[in-house]
Chain A
Amino acid sequence: MDLVLFYIAATVALVATVLVVTRSNAVHALIYLIVSLLAVAVIFFLLGAPFAAALEVVIYAGAIMVLFVFVVMMLNLGQRRSAPVHAWLRPRHWIGPGLLSLVLLLELTYLIFAGSGDTAGQVVGPQEVGRTLFGAYLLAVELASVLLLAALVGAYHLGRRYLRARYDEVES
C-alpha cells in the first residue's frame, strides 16, 4: 500500500517534468518544475531521507527556482515573448534527440534492472547526516563553501555590468 504512494509521487514527478520541457511560456515551465521538485521531495521523504527532502524544498524549489523567476521577470519572458519560442518547438526537432534518449533509456534500464536489492527501509535522520557530514566529509564541506564563494563573486561580477547598463538605459 505504501508503495503506491511512491508510484503516485513518481508519476507526478514524471508528468510535471515532461510538461516543463514542453511548455513555451517560461513561467508555466517554472511552475511545473517546482511541482516536479516537490514530488521528488516526497519521494525522498518516503525513502527515509527527511533532511534531504527538506533541503530539496527549501533550497532547490525555494531558492534556485526563485532565482529563475527573478531572471524571467527581469527579461520579461512572459506571454509576449513566447511566440518565437513556440516556433522553435516543431515536432520534427524532437526526432533526433528523442531517438538518442530512447536508446539511452533502454540501456540504462537494462543496466538498472540487472542489479538487485531493496532500500533499507529505515529513516536516516538529520542527526546522523550531520554527524557524518562534519565527520568524514569535513573537507567536502569546506570545498563546497569555497565553490559557493566563487559562484558568488562570479555572479556579482557578471551581473554588475548588466545592471549598470540597464540602470543607464532606464535613467536616460
Chain B
Amino acid sequence: MSVGLLWLIPMLPLLGFLALAATEGRLGERAVAVIGAGSVGLAALLAVPVTVGFFELPADTGFSQTLWVWLDVAGFRPAFTLYLDGLSLVMLWVITGVGFLIHLYATGYMSGDPGYSRFFAYMNLFVFAMLMLVLGNDLLVLYLGWEGVGLCSYLLIGFFQQDPANGYAARKAFVVTRIGDTAMALGLFLLFRELGTLEIQPLLGAATAAWPEGSATLTLAALLLLGGAVGKSAQLPLQTWLPDAMAGPTPVSALIHAATMVTAGVYLIARLHDLYLLAPVAQTAVALTGLATLFIAAFAALVQTDVKRILAYSTMSQIGYMFFALGVGAWSAAVFHLMTHAFFKALLFLSAGSLILALHHEQEVTRMGGLWRRLPWPFAGMLVGSAALAALPFTSGYFSKDAILLTAFDAPGGFWLWSVALLAALVTALYSVRLLVLVFFGQPRWQQSGREPRDRGGIAMRLPLAALSLLAIGGGWFGLSPVAAVLPDGGVGHGHGGWVMWATSATPLLGVLLGLLLFQRWGAVVARLGTSGGTRAVRRFWLSGWGFDWLYRQLIERPFVALARINRNDVVDRVFAALAGGALGVNGLLSATQTGRLRWYLANMAGGLALVLLIVLGVL
C-alpha cells in the first residue's frame, strides 16, 4: 500500500546526509545540489502517494509503521515506529514541501561558498531529525529528533566558522535550548515513572485513566514539557537565542528558525493535547507564555534595524500566537497558523536573502531604501509575505490568525486576552509596513555605499519565491480537515459573527494605514522621536528585546563566572595535587635519611638490630 512508503520519507534525507558526509566536500557543486535538494524533493514527492494512501484508510485511524525496536530492557521497549495521522501529515507536508523549496533556494544562494557540501549535509540531517520528531510514535524517538534538530541548529548557526561571533551565537542557542531540553527530559522521566511507557497513544490513554483532572503530578509533567517547548520555540523566558541565531545563512533562518524547528514546541503540545486538557493550570501557562511573548516580540520588532532581526522577532511573536492558541483551546487554529506561518515567513526570509545578496551582504535597513524598482523579485516576495504576516483579509495569515483571535475571545477572561492579542496584531501590521517602507521606498540610502544593487537570482532562487507567494496567498483556503480528526476542537472554526469579527478583520488594515502614516508620511518625525529623551530610552529597551540579555547576564552569567573564578584552582584538582604533594613530601623525608655517611648507616643497622631483638624478646 502506498502509505507504506512512509519510511522512505525520513530515510531519503538521511541518505543524503550520509552521502554528503562521506564524500566530505569532494563532489562538485552540481552533484551536491542534486543530492542535497534532491533528497528532500524526492521525500516531498513521496508524500503524495503516502497522503493519498492515508486518505484511503478508514477515517479517524492513524497509520503505524514499525521499523525496528530500539531497546528492550526490563519491559521498556521503545521502537522506531512512524505514526501518521492528520497532525503529523500536516507537519510532514510543511517540512518536506517548504523544506524542499528552501533547499532549492539554497542551491542558488549558497553557491560559491567553500562549505557548500557541508551546508547541505547539515540541512539534510536536520530534515531527517525533524521528520523523526514529527513522525515518531514514541516520545523517546521524538526526543531523538528534538536533540537532532538542536544539534543541526547549532551546526548551521555557526556555519560561517571564521567569525567567532557566529560560534558564540551558536553556543548561545544551544545552551539556552538545552535548559529547555533538560526540563523536557525531566518531564519525560516523570511520565515514564508514573505511566510506564513513552509511546504516545498508550501514554495519553494511560494518563487519562490514571490521573484526575488537575492532578499535581500531571501538571508538573505538563509544565516541564512546556519548558522544553519554550526553549525550542524561543518563547519567554528562553527566547534570547533567536535574534542572535540570525548569524546563520538566510536559508537556515528560513528553514530552521521560521518554518520548522521553532515550531517543534507547538507540535509537542498539540500532540500531547490530552495531557494539557487534563491540566488546566499548565494550559493556562501555555496561553500566558504565548501571550507575553507575542506582545513583547512585536514591540521589539518595531524598532530593529537589521532586516533579519526584524523577521526573527516577528517569528518569535507569531509562535507566541501559536502557543496562545494552544492555551485557549484553539488547537487546530494553532496548527493551521503553524502551516501558514511556514509559508509566509519562509517567503519573507528568502526574499530578505535575495535582498541581502543583491545589496552585497548589507543587512541594515538604515542603509537601504527606494529599491522597489531595482529589485522586483525581493520586493514582490516581501510584499506578499508581509501582507500574509499582517493578516490582511483573504491571505492565508488572515484565516489562521483570525481563527486564533476569535477562539480566544470565547475563552474565560477572553476579552482581555483578545484585546492584547489584537493590539499585538496591530503592531505586527505596523512593523511589516515599516520594513517595506524602509527597505523599498523612500530615500535611496544605499547609495552611500556606492555599490549597485543587483538582483542576482537564478531560477533556483526565484521559483521558491513564486511558489511560496502562491501558498502565502492561497494557503488559507485549505482549512485543515485532517487535523480535525486528531485535535479536540474539531477543525478551524470560521463561525463567529458580530462586531468581534469585524474588529478582528479590520485591525490589520488599520495597522497598515497607521504604518504608512507613521513611516512613510511622517517618517522623519518618527525617526527623530527615536533619538531624544524618554522615547529614546523606550526605543533602546525594545531594541534589546526588553532587556532579557542584560537580565540573564546579571542573574546567571555573572554569579556563575564569579563562582568559576573562585574555583579557578579547582577544588577537586587540589585533592589530587595534594596526593602528589604528599608523595613528594614523603620522598623528601626518606631522602633525608640517605645522608651518605657511613656511621649513620651503621647506627641504623644497630638500631634495627636492637628493635628486632626487642621483638624477639617479646617486649614489643
Residues of A in contact with B (beta carbons under 8 Å apart): 96-97, 100-101, 103-104, 107-108, 110-111
Contact = CB atoms under 8 A, between A and B. Distances in A.
A103 B603 contact: no
Given A96-B603, A97-B603, A103 B617 contact: no
Given A110-B617, A111-B617, A104 B603 contact: no
Contact of A107 (B603, B607, B610): B610
8 contacts: A96-B603, A100-B606, A100-B607, A104-B606, A104-B609, A104-B610, A107-B610, A110-B617
Point out which of A101, A104, A107, A110 has the most chain B C-beta atoms below 10 A from its C-beta: A107
Question: Which 7 residue pairs are nearest across A and B when measured between Cβ atoms?
Answer: A107-B613, A103-B610, A104-B610, A100-B606, A100-B607, A100-B610, A107-B617
Interface in B46-98: none
Nearest to B607: A100
B614 interface: yes
Interface string B581-620: 0000000000000000000000100110110011001000
A121 B606 CA distance: 34
Point out which of B609, B610, B613 has the most chain A C-beta atoms below 10 A from its C-beta: B610
Nearest to B606: A100
B606 A107 contact: no
Contacts of B614: 107
A169 to B, nearest CB: 28
Interface in B360-393: none
A162 to B, nearest CB: 21
Contacts of B603: 96-97, 100
Interface of B, helix, strand, loop or mixed by DSSP = helix
A110 B607 CA distance: 17
A6 B607 CA distance: 32
Range class of the B interface residue count:
under 10
Given A104-B606, A107-B613, A108-B613, 17 more contacts: A96-B603, A97-B603, A100-B603, A100-B606, A100-B607, A100-B610, A101-B606, A103-B610, A104-B609, A104-B610, A104-B613, A107-B610, A107-B614, A107-B617, A110-B617, A111-B613, A111-B617
Nearest to A104: B610
Contacts of A111: 613, 617
Nearest to B599: A97
A120 B587 CA distance: 55
Nearest to B611: A103
A96 B600 CA distance: 11
Point out which of A97, A101, A103, A110 has the most chain B C-beta atoms below 10 A from its C-beta: A103
Nearest to A101: B606
Contacts of B617: 107, 110-111
Nearest to A110: B617
Contacts of A103: 610
Contacts of A110: 617
B613 to A, nearest CB: 4
A101 B610 CA distance: 9
A101 B603 CA distance: 10
Contacts of B613: 104, 107-108, 111
Contacts of A96: 603
B466 to A, nearest CB: 104
A168 to B, nearest CB: 30
A97 B603 CA distance: 7
A11 B559 CA distance: 86
Contacts of B606: 100-101, 104
A104 B607 CA distance: 9
A43 B164 CA distance: 98
Contacts of A108: 613
B265 to A, nearest CB: 83
A141 B538 CA distance: 114
Contacts of B607: 100
B515 to A, nearest CB: 102
B593 to A, nearest CB: 15
A75 to B, nearest CB: 19
A97 B609 CA distance: 13
A98 to B, nearest CB: 11
Contacts of B610: 100, 103-104, 107
Contacts of B609: 104
A107 B617 CA distance: 8
B193 to A, nearest CB: 71
Contacts of A104: 606, 609-610, 613
Contacts of A101: 606
B602 to A, nearest CB: 9
A104 B610 CA distance: 6
A111 B617 CA distance: 8
B390 to A, nearest CB: 101
Contacts of A107: 610, 613-614, 617
B620 to A, nearest CB: 11
Nearest to B619: A107
B583 to A, nearest CB: 30
Contacts of A100: 603, 606-607, 610
Nearest to A100: B606
A107 B615 CA distance: 11
Nearest to B609: A104
A107 B613 CA distance: 7
A61 to B, nearest CB: 25
A117 to B, nearest CB: 20
A96 B609 CA distance: 15
A108 B617 CA distance: 10
A161 B613 CA distance: 44
B111 to A, nearest CB: 90
Contacts of A97: 603
A35 to B, nearest CB: 26
A142 to B, nearest CB: 31
Interface string B513-550: 00000000000000000000000000000000000000
A104 B617 CA distance: 12
A74 to B, nearest CB: 22
A104 B608 CA distance: 10
A97 B610 CA distance: 12
A172 B610 CA distance: 53
B604 to A, nearest CB: 10
Interface string B546-585: 0000000000000000000000000000000000000000
A103 B610 CA distance: 7
B597 to A, nearest CB: 13
Interface string B463-504: 000000000000000000000000000000000000000000
B558 to A, nearest CB: 63
A96 B602 CA distance: 12
A5 B614 CA distance: 34
B328 to A, nearest CB: 95
A108 B614 CA distance: 10
B162 to A, nearest CB: 75
Nearest to A97: B603
B432 to A, nearest CB: 99
A107 to B, nearest CB: 4
B340 to A, nearest CB: 99
A97 B605 CA distance: 12
